[in-house]
């Protein structure tokens, strides 16, 4: 008779649980030495980048940044990490400053307005004398009691407009005048200033370069009423 032996019941493997602890070991002294040495080394490196080499690099990078922004004609000079930008007429000084300030290493930017050409510099020299010459010393006459320029005055305005468009940096005060015997002279003088400014604008002078004044009879130039019925163009600022 065969004897059947039952298999031994399955015994699950024993599981050993090991607790793991992460131990932070103190950093070795060489680590701290290196950590302190890196900033010192970087500071020393920055200190060595000074003088003509640094200035030439900053100027070159600033010039490239301006070219990338589509701005040309700006002359740059460096004094250490501070740059001076000479901005010619027709360029926006604030835009130039923003672009140059964005160049790494530049600490400060100063802008100076300069003439775009020698021709413009000549046009702006003694501008008031030039205006007085073409207007016969501000005799831009109006028909008495009206805001209508006389024919000779209209021709003078065209010449004055040419002078002002040639000197693009100039701002002017456009004045209207009246004689003391002119009825409603204060209001009429302001109308004359507006008419004169509109005539200059047609000649190419931007309105933002003109300030309007109605002077009434404050600046009479003659005992003759007709000579006081006039307009004037006075330079406020050049450059």
- Residue-wise pLDDT tens digits, 186-217: 999 999 999 999 999 999 999 999 999 999 99
Asked if the model's pLDDT at residue 7 lies above 50, the reply is no
Asked if the model's pLDDT at residue 26 lies above 70, the reply is no
Interstrand relation of 82-88 and 108-114 (parallel, antiparallel or unpaired): parallel
pLDDT at 20: 46
Delimiting residues of CATH 3.30.1330.60 domain(s) in the chain: 121-237
Asked if the model's pLDDT at residue 38 lies above 60, the reply is no
pLDDT at 35: 52
Both structure tokens of 22 = 């992460």
Delimiting residues of CATH 3.30.1340.30 domain(s) in the chain: 47-114
The CATH superfamily of 121-237 is: OmpA-like domain (3.30.1330.60)
Q: HEC profile for 90-148?
A: CCCHHHHHHHHHCCCCCCEEEEEEECCCHHHHHHHCCHHHHHHHHCCCCCEEECCCCCC
According to CATH, what is the number of the domain 47-114?
3.30.1340.30
């Amino acid at each position: 008779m065969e004897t059947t032996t039952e298999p031994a019941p399955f015994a699950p493997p024993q599981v050993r649980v090991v607790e793991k602890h992460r131990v932070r070991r103190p950093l070795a002294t060489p680590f701290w030495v290196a950590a302190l040495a890196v900033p010192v080394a970087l500071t020393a490196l920055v200190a060595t980048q000074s003088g003509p080499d640094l200035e030439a690099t900053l100027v070159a990078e600033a010039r490239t940044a301006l070219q990338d922004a589509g701005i040309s004609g700006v002359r740059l000079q460096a004094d250490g990490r501070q740059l001076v930008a000479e901005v010619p007429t027709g360029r926006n000084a604030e835009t130039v400053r923003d672009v140059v300030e964005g160049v790494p290493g530049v600490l400060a930017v100063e802008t100076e307005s300069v003439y775009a050409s020698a021709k413009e510099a000549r046009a702006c020299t003694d501008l008031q004398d030039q205006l007085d010459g073409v207007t016969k010393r501000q005799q831009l006459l109006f028909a008495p009691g009206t805001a209508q320029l006389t024919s000779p005055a209209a021709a003078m305005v065209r010449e004055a407009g040419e002078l002002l468009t040639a000197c693009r940096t100039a701002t002017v005060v456009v004045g209207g005048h009246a004689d003391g015997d002119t009825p409603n002279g204060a209001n009429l003088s302001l109308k004359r200033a507006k008419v004169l400014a509109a005539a200059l604008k047609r000649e190419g002078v931007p309105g933002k370069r003109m300030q309007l004044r109605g002077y009434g009879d404050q600046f009479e130039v003659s005992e003759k009423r007709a000579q006081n019925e006039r307009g004037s163009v006075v330079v406020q600022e050049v450059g």
